[in-house]
Amino acid sequence: MADTLAETENTIDRRMPSEEVASEPVSAISARALRKVYKASGGQPAKEALKGIDLDIPRGSIFGLLGPNGAGKSTFINILAGLVIKTSGSASIWGFDTDVNPRSARASIGVVPQELNIDPFFTPAEALEMQAGLYGVPKSERRTMEILEAMGLDDKAHAYARTLSGGMRRRLLVAKAMVHNPPVLILDEPTAGVDIELRKQLWDYVQELHAQGTTIVLTTHYLEEAQSLCDQIAIINHGEVVACEPTQTLLSRISEKRLIVRAASPLDQIPASLEDMKVTLRPDGSLDIQYNPVEVSAMSILAQLSAEGLEIADISTEESDLEDVFLQLTSGAHGAGN
Ligand code: ADP
Ligand code: MG
């Protein structure tokens, strides 16, 4: 990035959607049919990393982009950051189309890349000042020490970057992404290689930024991390979005349990009393009943069945967890999809 981002076409409007006049709120990030094909090179065949992504990330959210390694998360982020050129489709950031208003789009996000690319010849304070210069932040508005302090790097402000630990480097990258005070902060695998204490510190800072109105997008392959932090989660696999919903909705799926009921004689159809539930008849004639223990108990299901005259020979329960849902969604069989 040799050019300065100072002369943006418009000033960035940080208002929340509720304050907007338009009835359709403008997303923090929006992608339509976004596609990326990496060309074949060095014996490697061409790779379609994104197969036409449609995604809307609401303003004010902490949004988790979840997916296994190679799913296309970094490709998506890097297209937004202007580091990877999309093959087709469109993307906009804070309402700015990346083709039409590239400078405003870029000024609207700060990206913490997955790679720890720190220039070893600059101190953290110098690195931040340079970044601020690149984004045209006037000297009077720079918050170099404030940001370093928030990231727990103030005592390293004037140390050589090569003396920083992995965790410190990660935090320096977050600091760099924040110098121009963007309304959207994107963190790509921010906790890879970061120890638990620093991880907590990083999340505290991210949550504080969120509380102050910054929209947060993070990619991770740690399910639990996304679960505890994000209010909405999109799951991406093989370059496709396989789920996108509020974390609570995803969790309610996860809290589903399964009750396997074997009748005295194998069944050939699902009993009428279970019509409203998610039930499948297994090849061996037993019933696989999915239920949410918050809504209904296993006892009442069994009571219903015996009231209908079913003689129960055996029962067992299976609990699904986040891992299960994730596997289910990413295994190719979109069992729990919409
Ligand atoms: P994620 O961040 O979810 O792990 P990536 O976006 O890094 O996934 O990668 C998606 C796919 O694109 C992978 O198959 C990866 O090997 C491929 N890929 C990523 N970057 C390049 C590149 N520069 N050239 C060729 N293929 C790439
Ligand atoms: Mg990645």
Most informative mutation of 75, 111, 222 for ligand 1 (most atoms within 8 A of CB): 75
For the 257-319 domain, the top CATH level (class) is alpha beta
Cα dihedral 192, 197, 201, 207 sign: positive
Average pLDDT over residues 132-143: 92
Instruction: Report CA-CA distances (Å) from 154 to 149, 151, 157, 160, 290.
Output: 5, 8, 5, 13, 53
Query: Can you give the pLDDT at residue 8?
Result: 44
pTM: 0.76
Confidence category of residue 17, pLDDT binned at 50, 70, 90: very low
Confidence category of residue 322, pLDDT binned at 50, 70, 90: low
Least confident of 4-13, 150-159, 264-273: 4-13
Q: Is the pLDDT of residue 5 over 50?
A: no
Structure tokens, 127: 């690195």
Most informative mutation of 38, 114, 222 for ligand 1 (most atoms within 8 A of CB): 38
Residues with a CB atom less than 6 Å from ligand 1: 38, 47, 49, 67, 69-75
Q: Are 107 and 135 in contact (CB under 8 A)?
A: yes
Name the closest-CA residue to atom 5, ligand 1: 72
Query: Can you give the pLDDT at residue 183?
Result: 96
Higher per-residue pLDDT: 62 or 225? 62
Place of tokens 């997955």: 114
Name the closest-CA residue to atom 20, ligand 1: 75
Place of tokens 């296994």: 68
If one counts every other C-beta atom within 10 angstroms of the C-beta of residue 336, the result is: 18
Q: Is the pLDDT of residue 119 over 60?
A: yes
- Distance of alpha carbon 145 from the chain centroid: 29
Give φ, ψ of 100 to 5 degrees: -80, -45
23 Cα–ligand 1 center, Å: 37
328 contact partners, CB below 8 Å, separation of at least 6: 335, 336
What letter would DSSP give residue 122?
Answer: S
CA atoms of 331 and 68, how far apart (whole Å): 11
Instruction: Report CA-CA distances (Å) from 271 to 217, 220, 257, 286.
Output: 45, 42, 19, 11
Per residue in 104-113, pLDDT tens?
A: 999 999 999 8
Least confident of 35-49, 247-261, 292-306: 247-261
Query: Can you give the pLDDT at residue 19?
Result: 46
Cβ burial of 86 (10 Å; 0-12, 13-18, 19+) is: buried
Domain residue spans of the chain = 2-251, 257-319
Task: From the CA of 114, give the closest atom in ligand 1.
Answer: 2
Per residue in 275-315, pLDDT tens?
A: 888 899 999 999 999 888 778 888 899 999 999 899 999 99
What letter would DSSP give residue 45?
Answer: P
Name the closest-CA residue to atom 27, ligand 1: 38
**Topology adopted by domain 2-251:** Rossmann fold (3.40.50)
Q: Is the pLDDT of residue 330 over 90?
A: no
Query: Can you give the pLDDT at residue 20?
Result: 46
Q: Which of 88-102, 144-158, 208-222, 289-303 has the highest mean pLDDT?
A: 88-102
- Indicate the average pLDDT of the chain: 85
In the chain, the percentage of residues whose pLDDT exceeds 70 is: 86
Per residue in 176-225, pLDDT tens?
A: 999 999 999 999 988 777 777 778 888 888 898 999 999 999 998 777 78
CA atoms of 106 and 115, how far apart (whole Å): 19
Query: Can you give the pLDDT at residue 148?
Result: 93
66 Cα–ligand 2 center, Å: 10
Q: Is the pLDDT of residue 6 over 50?
A: no
Name the closest-CA residue to atom 15, ligand 1: 70
Q: Are 149 and 125 in contact (CB under 8 A)?
A: no
Average pLDDT over residues 18-37: 78
Query: Can you give the pLDDT at residue 324?
Result: 66
What letter would DSSP give residue 41?
Answer: B
Confidence category of residue 332, pLDDT binned at 50, 70, 90: low
Name the closest-CA residue to atom 25, ligand 1: 38
Q: Are 133 and 1 in contact (CB under 8 A)?
A: no
Compute the CA torsion angle 242, 243, 244, 245 (nearest 10 deg): 180
Instruction: Report CA-CA distances (Å) from 259 to 89, 256, 288, 318.
Output: 44, 10, 6, 6
What letter would DSSP give residue 39?
Answer: P
Query: Which ligand is located closest to the Cα atom of residue 78?
Result: 1
Higher per-residue pLDDT: 202 or 15? 202
Instruction: Report CA-CA distances (Å) from 262 to 130, 266, 281, 312.
Output: 69, 7, 10, 6
Q: Is the pLDDT of residue 338 over 60?
A: no
Task: From the CA of 75, give the closest atom in ligand 1.
Answer: 6
Confidence category of residue 51, pLDDT binned at 50, 70, 90: very high
Query: Can you give the pLDDT at residue 38?
Result: 97
Position 179, amino acid: V
Q: Is the pLDDT of residue 2 over 50?
A: no
184 Cα–ligand 1 center, Å: 23
